[in-house]
Structure 1
Amino acid sequence: MSTVQARPATLWEAGNRRAPAVLRLASALLVTAAVLDLLLSGRLGLFFDLVFVTLSVGLALAVRPSDFFPVGVFPPLAMFGVVLLLAISRPEAVARADDGAVQATVSGLSGHAIGLALGYAACLGLLAVRRQWVATHPR
């Protein structure tokens, strides 16, 4: 008589958190990273980009499969939101001090384009791998 043992969840199927909770936490962590970066260097810099990429990967792995869409659109909107808030309140943190809000937003986004591209590509890539895995390995 053979007993069937339940296999442990793989990295691709382990995410089981709801999107709203995960996105609220990610937003809070991203704003916290921006504030810490401003306190440390006075500008939005590499620390923020590293946190952004890490959060993008974490989001893609933490969310349940039915909530892939909100996580898939979150990274660029989050980056835009943080840069826009800084462009309005402290343009010197993302651009030149005399730039207007629109120019500072564009400059800030272009200055963090590599972090944005890496984080977004990693997020979408991981979501695609997880989607494929869940489709071919039903539990």
Structure 2
Amino acid sequence: MSRTIWDEGHEPGGRVVALAVALALTVAVIDSLLAGRVEVLFDVCFVLICTGVALLVHPRDFFFVGVLPPLLMLGIFGLFALSSRSGIGAAHGDGFLQALISALGHHSIALFIGYALALACLVIRRNRLLRGTITRGSATSRPHPPARPQAYHPTSR
């Protein structure tokens, strides 16, 4: 059986979360430098990052990626709201919370699409895992049958 993109995920959850944060923050900074604020470049890259980490993560760490997109966007825009409110399109007099909510509202479509694609990838990978086409340890072998319970034999002393 040939390996597919769904069979490839093998990275630990912590590593893919760190990768996603680094990539998203880098893209947000570059987009704000190029356009004056976070705009479409960030949105497109955010969707690609969410989908990519859903394909990279090891099956035992699906939860990390399942909750990542909204927390990632909230964290990125929270940093911008603290440091450079104009970088996320906030008005001059907006406070931290207003700037954060405005930024999340402006980028809600990217959040929705990125989250939906990440969850769809995880569901497809989970279903393939449950059908037995991939295993938790190896992407090409079938899962081993469960071990039979051993009969209890008290040891004589």
Q: TM-score under structure 2 normalisation?
A: 0.82
CA–CA distance in 2 between the matches of 1:11 and 1:88? 38
The corresponding residue for 1:48 is 42
The reply to whether residue 90 of structure 1 matches residue 118 of structure 2 is no
The reply to whether residue 111 of structure 1 matches residue 109 of structure 2 is no
The corresponding residue for 2:137 is none
CA–CA distance in 1 between the matches of 2:60 and 2:7? 12
The offset of 1:91, in angstroms, is: 1.0
The reply to whether residue 71 of structure 1 matches residue 79 of structure 2 is no
Residue type at the aligned position of 2:112 = A
CA–CA distance in 1 between the matches of 2:23 and 2:126? 26
Q: Gaps (5+ residues) in structure 1?
A: 1-6
Helix, strand or coil for the counterpart of 2:5?
coil
CA–CA distance in 2 between the matches of 1:9 and 1:97? 52
The offset of 1:25, in angstroms, is: 1.1
More helix by share: 1
Instruction: Choose the corresponding residue for 2:96, options 87, 97, 101.
Output: 101
The reply to whether residue 122 of structure 1 matches residue 152 of structure 2 is no
The offset of 1:125, in angstroms, is: 0.8
Aligned residue pairs, count: 133
CA–CA distance in 2 between the matches of 1:26 and 1:91? 22
CA–CA distance in 1 between the matches of 2:94 and 2:87? 11
The two structures, once aligned, show a CA RMSD in angstroms of 0.9
Residue type at the aligned position of 1:98 = G
CA–CA distance in 1 between the matches of 2:15 and 2:78? 23
The corresponding residue for 1:80 is 74
CA–CA distance in 2 between the matches of 1:37 and 1:48? 6
The corresponding residue for 2:145 is none
Helix, strand or coil for the counterpart of 1:67?
helix
Helix, strand or coil for the counterpart of 2:67?
helix
The corresponding residue for 1:135 is 130
Structure with higher Rg: it is: 2
Instruction: Choose the corresponding residue for 2:29, options 11, 35, 50.
Output: 35
Q: Gaps (5+ residues) in structure 2?
A: 134-141, 143-157
Identity rate, percent:
43
The offset of 1:23, in angstroms, is: 1.0
Runs of 4 or more, structure 1, over 3 Å off, are none
